DNA sequence: TTCCTTGCAAACGATTTGCATTGGA
DNA sequence: TCCAATGCAAATCGTTTGCAAGGAA
């Protein structure tokens, strides 16, 4: 999805919910649309050049999460990282570095993703569970920390 | 695994690593072996009847985590809950019900688990990432809520 | 106007740490 | 004996909140 399309999608979603798409919120969505993985409030604060105070950032993140635009990922030391929700970013999985805590997104090649989906269906059958969504999270060492 | 076997396994592991299995650490492992889900430091503090001050609890948890006896489970509000490590509890995945929020553990049949492991290895190769651990989390509707 | 958002500073709560004391090998 | 573990209190750090000022509808 192009960035301007993305902003339009978000705008629409927020309008539906009577939530204002203010300058601060635009900045957050825009920054997250340009990065590879989830960012914490502090990381976001750096990325956007201290343009928005932390407290306002936290409030924007909370609003965007409640509106279903962002998804939180809980990290160590009580740090929460956010990324665009799946309906905006597309389906992907996470590589979490146990060394530095960085989270990278991977979009699997179709043959991999179909095997994951197949496993998920099979597990659902075994466990009498109706799968709606899945996430394969892999912990390990990223290229930088290996 | 019986509880006394479990304590013996932990004792052995700690001995190998020259880590003392003190009264406080025994209390923590024992409490966690008796509960169904992961517990936070505060919850543990309650469960063991304030027998150990919070700061000591945190230190015990840190030591046991570094020794590979406990695994942290990151929750909202910066709360970390701990459970016995996988080699003590068995490898499993999570089925999260989007209806009632319940989290069920599933232990996959060997042929499923090996396919998951194979995918994880393949993904690591693609992404230049060294996988150490993985977790497949499936969201959907549990049997009760379907 | 009226309600929502923002910025600042202070408050909060989970976790960590400095230091003196205790305890186990 | 002697280093690691403990208890207490104070410090840290991510996050939240009260309040007054700014903005959009």
Span B65-90, pLDDT tens digits: 999 999 998 888 889 999 999 899 88
Q: Are A76 and A40 in contact (CB under 8 A)?
A: no
CA–C1' distance A37–C10 (Å)? Answer: 33
Determine what percent of chain B is predicted with pLDDT higher than 90: 62
Q: For residue B63, report the phi and psi dihedrals to the nearest 5 degrees.
A: -60, -45
Residue B6, C-beta contacts closer than 8 angstroms, at least 6 positions apart: B29, B33, B84, B88
CA–C1' distance B21–D16 (Å)? Answer: 39
Beta bridge partners of A39: A82
Q: What is the pLDDT of residue A82?
A: 96
In B18-89 the beta strands, taken as DSSP E runs, fall at: 39-40, 70-74, 80-84
A81 nearest nt, CA–C1': D14
Q: Are B48 and B26 in contact (CB under 8 A)?
A: no
Query: What global pTM score does this model have?
Result: 0.81
Q: Residue range A73-89: average pLDDT?
A: 92
State whether residue A92 is helix, strand or coil. Answer: coil
Q: Residue range B99-111: average pLDDT?
A: 78
Structure token digits, residue A56: 């306002």
With beta carbons under 8 A apart, name residues in chain B contacting A131.
138-140
> Which one has a higher pLDDT value, A125 or B97?
A125
- Using CA coordinates, name the residue in chain A closest to B135: A137
Residue B113 has pLDDT above 80, yes or no: yes
User: What is the end-to-end Cα distance of chain A in Å, rounded?
Assistant: 33
pLDDT confidence tier of residue B63, bands split at 50, 70 and 90: very high
The string of pLDDT tens digits covering residues A13-69 is: 999 999 999 999 999 999 999 998 899 999 999 999 989 999 999 999 999 999 999
Per the prediction, chain B carries an average pLDDT of 90
Residue A135 and residue B137: Cβ atoms within 8 Å? yes
Q: Residue range B15-26: average pLDDT?
A: 95
């Amino acid at each position: 999805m192009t960035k301007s399309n993305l902003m339009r999608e978000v705008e629409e979603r927020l309008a539906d919910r009577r939530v204002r798409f203010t300058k601060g919120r635009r900045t957050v969505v825009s920054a997250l649309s340009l990065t590879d993985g989830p960012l914490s409030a502090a990381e976001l604060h750096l990325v956007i050049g201290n343009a928005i105070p932390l407290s306002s950032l936290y409030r924007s993140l909370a609003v965007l999460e409640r509106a279903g635009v962002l998804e939180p990922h809980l990290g160590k030391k009580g740090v929460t990282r956010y990324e665009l929700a799946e309906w905006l970013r597309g389906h992907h999985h996470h590589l979490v570095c146990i060394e530095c805590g960085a989270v990278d997104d991977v979009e699997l090649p179709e043959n991999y993703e179909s095997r994951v989906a197949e496993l998920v269906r099979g597990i659902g059958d075994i466990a009498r569970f109706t799968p709606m969504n899945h996430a394969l999270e892999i912990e390990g060492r990223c290229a930088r920390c290996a």
